[in-house]
Amino acid sequence: MSSKVFVAGATGLLGGRIVDALLDRGASVRALVRPGEDAAKKAAIEALQARGLEVVAGDITDPPARLAEAVGDAATVISAVQGGPDVIVDGQANLVHAAEKAGAARFIPSDFAVDVTKLADGDNFMIDWRRAAAARFRGADLDVVSVLNGAFYEVMVGFMGIVDWEGGTLSHWGDPDQPLDLTSVSDTAAYTAAVALDPGATGTLRFAGEVISFRRFHEAVQRGSGRRLELRDLGTADELRAEIERRAGLTENPFDYVALQYQWCMVSGKGKFDTLDNARYPQITPVSVADFVRASS
C-alpha cells in the first residue's frame, strides 16, 4: 500500500496535529485546504508545508471528479472536518465517493468522539450526523476505519465549562466514580496517524489517554495546576437528561445545549468504551491529565 495520506480539515484543531504526526512518522501527506484569508491558519499551513506537506486547494463538497483528482494516489483519506450535516453527512459522503474514484483503500471519518456505535439517535445531535454519515459510507468500495478518543482533555478543562478557573470550581453531573475516556488532541492525532499508516487497522479503534472518573479527574486537575478547586455536584445523569430536554424546549439552537449532550453521553456511561486499542501502538505513550494540565498551566 502507498503510504501517502490525504487529509481534509488540516487547518483545524485536530487536523493540523494529525498532519504534524504523520510528517513526524515520515509519511507523505497531501492536505485539502479551502482558500481563506485567516492569517493564523495560513501561517500554520505554511509551517507544515515547510516540513513537506503538499497542499491542494478545494472543498469536500467539490464535484467528486475534481476531488478525486485532489486525492490522487493517496492510499488513505482522513477527514478531520467539522461542520453541520452539509459537511459531516453530505460532504463526507462526497469525499468517500471521490476517494473510491481515486482508488484509495481506506477512509477515516471525522468521528473522534465517545463510542458513537453505542449511542442512539437523539442522544447527541452532532453524533447523530456521524452515525448518519456512517450509514451513507456502508457499501463503499474502501475500508472505513473509525478512530474514537472519548473527550479531549482540552475540552474538559476548557470550553466545556466544567472547570471555572476564575470561580475556583470543577462541576460535574452524574456519579463521580463513573469512568470516562479522555485523550489530549496531540495523542488523538498520534493514534490517528498510527492507524492511517497501519495496513492491518480495520473497523472501529478506541483510544484513551486516561480512563478516569470525575473524582480522579478533579484530583488530577488540582495536582497539575497546583490550584484548589471546589468539586460541585450538579445532579444525577437522569437530571442532566431532564435539563437537556428543558433547555431544548427553550431554544431553537441545539448548540445551546450540545455541551450537555456530550457530558450526558459520558456520565451516563452510554458512550463509554468497552475495550481500548492503545496496546496496538505501544510506541505512543499518552500524556496523563495531571501532566497535560501542568504543561498548560
Q: Which residues bind to ligand NAP, rule: CB under 6 A? A: 8-15, 32, 34, 36, 41, 59-61, 80-83, 87, 91, 110, 112-113, 149, 151-152, 155
Contact criterion met (CB below 8 Å) for 178 and 213: yes
Q: What 3-state class would DSSP assign to 91? A: helix
Instruction: Cell 505513550: give the residue.
Output: 285
- Closest approach, Cβ 88 to ligand NAP, in A, equals 8
As given in the structure block, the three cell numbers for residue 102 are 481515486
Question: Exposure string (b/e) for 233-245, b if CB count within 10 Å is 16 or more?
Answer: eeeebeebbebbe
Spatial separation of the C-alpha atoms in residues 193 and 17, rounded to whole Å: 9
Residue closer to ligand NAP, measured from CB, 6 or 281? 6
Contact criterion met (CB below 8 Å) for 81 and 13: no
Residue closer to ligand NAP, measured from CB, 116 or 229? 116
Residue closer to ligand NAP, measured from CB, 31 or 142? 31
Residue closer to ligand NAP, measured from CB, 157 or 201? 157
- Closest approach, Cβ 145 to ligand NAP, in A, equals 14
- Closest approach, Cβ 208 to ligand NAP, in A, equals 11
Question: Exposure string (b/e) for 156-190, b if CB count within 10 Å is 16 or more?
Answer: bbeebebbeeeeeebbbbbbeebbbbbbbbbbbbb
Residue closer to ligand NAP, measured from CB, 8 or 289? 8
- Closest approach, Cβ 228 to ligand NAP, in A, equals 26
- Closest approach, Cβ 264 to ligand NAP, in A, equals 14
